[in-house]
Structure 1
Amino acid sequence: MTMHLHFDCFSGISGDMMLGALVDGGLPVKDLRRGLASLGITGYEIRAKKVMRNVIQATKVDVVIHRSMKHPLTFRQILRLIEGSRLPARVKELGREVFTHIAEAESVVHGVPVEQVHFHEVGVVDSLVDVMGTLLGCQLLGVSRVTASPVNVGTGFEQSAHGTLPVPGPAVARLAQGVPIYSEGPRREFTTPTGIAVLRTLVEEFRALPPMSPTAVGYGAGEADPYGWPNVLRLFLGEVRDGAGADTESVFEIETNLDDLNPQVYETVMERLFAAGALDVTLAPVVMKRGRPGTVLTALANKDRTRQVADVMLRETTALGVRYREVAREVLPRTFQRVSTKYGPVRMKVASRNGVPIRAVPEYADCRALAERSGKPVREIMEEAIVTYHRKPARSPSGKRSQRKRA
């Protein structure tokens, strides 16, 4: 029996919200304190309390600093701190990946080499505790698969040390590449660089809540408490039976015909459909009446997201109507397993049937990011990932070795 964790990011995500949701969902605070002691950082205390955000009771985890560090930490100092800790190897590996994502984003935003990045927000003790505590918490809860909803980044503007900035801020916007995001609610920032960097590292698939039988539901509170808005992160924790076959589920197909839409907008339409909760989006050429060429735009969505998906179709295209159809689909159980290539880590999407892995595909977004960093062709990165996957046993997020047959 393994555990599936789903983050519901309707009010964004941050480090304290993640820790709060994990504790609210059953992670003992004493186990969290004991595990983080091996990080080797002193001068702080972890406190958890119940708070109300709108009408929802949630857990707020605070990192109370008694003795702060004298200077911001550099990227290299953070990596050395993580590597020198007594945390589990898998937690350290994921921690390095989170801070690498943040350092690369800050490097691009501020135009400095990664080695010269100083973490004015992330280098302090509380953010280290948030990141490493979340990763450790997932391992302590036995989590083997992580999914998340599209992420609400907030609206309006924010005040920072660099002046007034639009929401999402530059670092979050950079880290959100490849992640479905949207903007809703009060005029404030809901998603932090720490939160979205952890999502990029842990999440295997961004989607609406998948079929599952939750064993726990947790709510983690953010610092802000805007009037009339539940500023919380919700998580669902459920058991997944090992060796299960394909899942059959009922979804809705939302479809429309287009013959007068500029093809240049297709990319934006697809992005916004995914952000609205679409499970899949396709475009297919057809011949319409009087021999006119056209395109069929089709999206799949769970029942509770059909209205939002249809609204995007009607708002973002020239369609005058949409068609609905309930369909059944059979989905092979999928997990993500990270492999360490010579270019960097790549997530492999592994499909199984009756508990036996039958197909593994490199995650394109990871390969593209490594290609941009190394200057190598994306094709070469993908080939290297496939070879590495078949050469070495991969590990699940819980740190357990996965059994698979060689192709």
Structure 2
Amino acid sequence: MKDRKILYIEPFSGAAGDMLVAALLGLGADCKRFWKGIASLPLKEKPEIKMAKVGRNGIAALNFKVILKEGHHDHHFHRTFADIEKIIRSAGKLSPAVKKRSIGIFRRLAEAEAKVHGSNVRHVHFHEVGAADAIIDIVGAVLCLEILKVDRIVSAPVALGSGTIRSAHGILPVPAPATVEIIKGCPTYSGAVACELTTPTGAVMLKSIVDEWGMPPAGAIVAVSCGAGTKDFKVQPNVLRVSIMKCPVPQSSGREKIAVLECNIDDMPGEAFSYVCPELLKMGALDYALIPVYMKKGRPGIILQVICRPEGIAKFAEFILGETSTIGVRYRLEDREFLRREAREYETPWGLVGAKLAFDRNGNMMKYKPDFESCARLAKTSGKGYLSISGKIRDHINKRVRI
């Protein structure tokens, strides 16, 4: 069975467009195809692009820099969303999918800017993000993702930074208003550096491409790359790290044969079941149940029911006959329909939580449920009680899964 190709993003020093593009190119995206696509953008600034290997606090990284040619350094292009859409649609070497996704990212950015300034998308004039470098960053990242052909994108929580910044609107708190509007609903934290770590461009790119937020899935890391930020920090490397992982494909939804073994027991001490049942799971049973019944002569009893693979019938029958008081075991084969299940982990304000997700045959998420052990542990550490914390955790995860 073919593995899934997962892209894992770690924005512990924030995210900016140039950092993401550099990191994706470092993973092995076809540079020739990338340059052809970017060169086909009809930009008046006629920018030059430079790639260089640099170091950030001792960590090797790639730096992606857009340089304006002489005569354009002091000229600001305050483009509207319609202007940017026209530029992207006019690029002859970009696929329709790259154009559509890039325009969608800019539309999300325009909607955030419009909301922040009390305007509408048509009247929004981009300042910094309307310049050539932002257009190249967004289109370049989308193009890299098409080239890399990843199946899913997962990201760790985003460091936003703190302090204040100077902008076209004066001095603003970090994160900038547009960044806050864009990144709402995503897991974030301030980080260890008092400056702007995540830009509006970086925020909108993560919000638009990430399928899931949290810990990396189980799998093998096959490639790692770091995109360098502009500044050097003393406390940590100013890099955005990305990894390509090969992860096993979870079992598909469908139909299968299972075996059901049962026996009636009315003469065995109750504590014996506390030994037998965990052993059944250790042996590979899919599930078990203890069903209370009234048997002959009005005696209360238990039906021990075990579900296993058909090839396990003999093994489990022998165990039940040897470890319980029954002198007989009945069994049958049954068909069952099932949804594909997958275990994931999510970062929450109360700690790390495991969750079980279920998908239909088309890969659509149907159900999800926080792990009981995780909720019970966090109920104790938070002091909020199980029902309260499990409800809060479910609401938190609901914002991060796509049903």
Report the TM range for the smaller structure's normalisation: 0.5 to 0.7
Q: Does residue 51 of structure 2 align to residue 48 of structure 1?
A: yes
- Residue identity opposite 1:88 in structure 2: S
Match of 1:31 in 2: 33
- CA deviations on 1:213-237 (whole Å, 9 max, x unpaired) are 1221110111111112111111111
Partner of residue 89, structure 2: 83
Equivalences for residues 230-309 of structure 1 within 5 A = 230-240=237-247, 245=252, 272-273=349-350, 277-279=352-354, 300=374
Q: For residues 97 and 299 of structure 1, do their structure 2 counterparts lie closer, same or farther at Cα, with a shift above 3 Å needed? A: farther
Contact 1:33 1:46 in 2 (8 A): no
Query: Hey, what does 2:140 align to over in structure 1?
Result: 133
2:5 is matched with 3
Out of 99, 114, 122, the residue aligned to residue 121 of structure 2 is 114
Aligned length: 283
Q: CA deviation at 1:280?
A: 5.1
Shift of 1:129: 0.4
Matched with 1:160 is 167
**5 Å matches for 1:314-329?**
314=381, 317-318=382-383
Partner SS, residue 6 of structure 2: strand
RMSD (Å), alpha carbons: 3.3
| 1:32 positional shift | 1.6
Alpha-carbon separation, structure 1, partners of 2:355 and 2:152: 20
Deviations 1:241-280 (A, max 9, x none): 668545766979xxxxxxxxxxxxxxxxx9623xx55455
C-alpha separation between the residues in 1 aligned to 2:221 and 2:110? 35
Which residue does the alignment assign to 1:143? 150
Report the counterpart of residue 60 of structure 1 in structure 2. 63
Cα 1:82/1:98, change in 2 over 3 Å: same
Q: CA deviation at 1:114?
A: 1.2
Residue 192 of structure 1 pairs with residue 199 of structure 2: yes
Say which SS state the counterpart of residue 7 (structure 1) adopts. strand
- Partners of 1:17 and 1:116 lie apart in 2 by 29
The answer for the alignment partner of 1:394 in structure 2 is none
The match for 1:380 is none
Give unmatched runs, 5+ long, in structure 1: 253-269, 282-295, 302-308, 321-346, 350-360, 362-407
Letter in 1 for 2:85: L
DSSP-derived class of the 2:22 partner: helix
Q: How does 1:296-375 map to 2 (within 5 A)?
A: 300=374, 314=381, 317-318=382-383, 349=402, 361=403
1:176-191 equivalent positions in 2, closer than 5 A? 176-191=183-198
Bigger mean CA deviation after superposition, 64-73 or 243-252? 243-252
User: Residues 184 and 243 (structure 1 numbering): CA distance in 2 closer, same or farther, change over 3 Å?
Assistant: closer
Give the C-alpha shift of residue 164 in structure 1: 2.1
SS at match of 2:151: strand
| Residue pair 1:16, 1:61 contacting (<8 A) in 2 also | yes
Distance 2:62 2:341 in 1: 33
Letter of the 1:236 partner, please give it: S
**1:13 match:** 15
Alignment equivalent of 1:213, drawn from 213, 220, 240? 220
Instruction: Give, in whole Å, the separation in 1 of the partners of 2:151 and 2:161.
Output: 29
Structure 1 CA distance for aligned equivalents of residues 143 and 344 of structure 2: 35
CA contact (8 A) 2:98 2:139 kept: yes
Q: Using a 3 Å threshold, how does the CA distance of structure 1 residues 169 and 279 change in structure 2: closer, same or farther? A: farther
- Give me the TM-score of the superposition, normalised by structure 2: 0.63
The structural deviation recorded for 1:177 is 1.2
- Is this contact kept in 1: 2:48–2:68, CA < 8 A? yes
Sequence identity (%): 33
* Pairwise CA distance, 1:97: 1.2
**For the structure 1 residues 111 and 133, does the alpha-carbon distance in structure 2 shift closer, same or farther, using more than 3 Å as the test?**
same
Larger radius of gyration: 2
1:74 corresponds in structure 2 to: 80
Provide the rounded CA distance (Å) in 1 between the counterparts of 2:241 and 2:20.
9
- Residues 11 and 124 (structure 1), Cα distance of their counterparts in 2 relative to 1, 3 Å cut: same
Are the structure 2 counterparts of residues 175 and 111 from structure 1 closer, same or farther at C-alpha, using a change threshold of 3 Å? same
**Distance in 2 of aligned mates of 1:9 and 1:72:** 29
- Deviation for aligned residue 1:137: 0.4
CA change 1:74–1:248 in 2 (3 A) is closer
Distance in 2, matches of 1:170 and 1:250, equals 32
What is the DSSP-based 3-state SS (H/G/I as helix, E as strand, rest coil) of the residue aligned with 2:28? coil
Shift of 1:297: 11
1:78 shift after superposition: 0.8
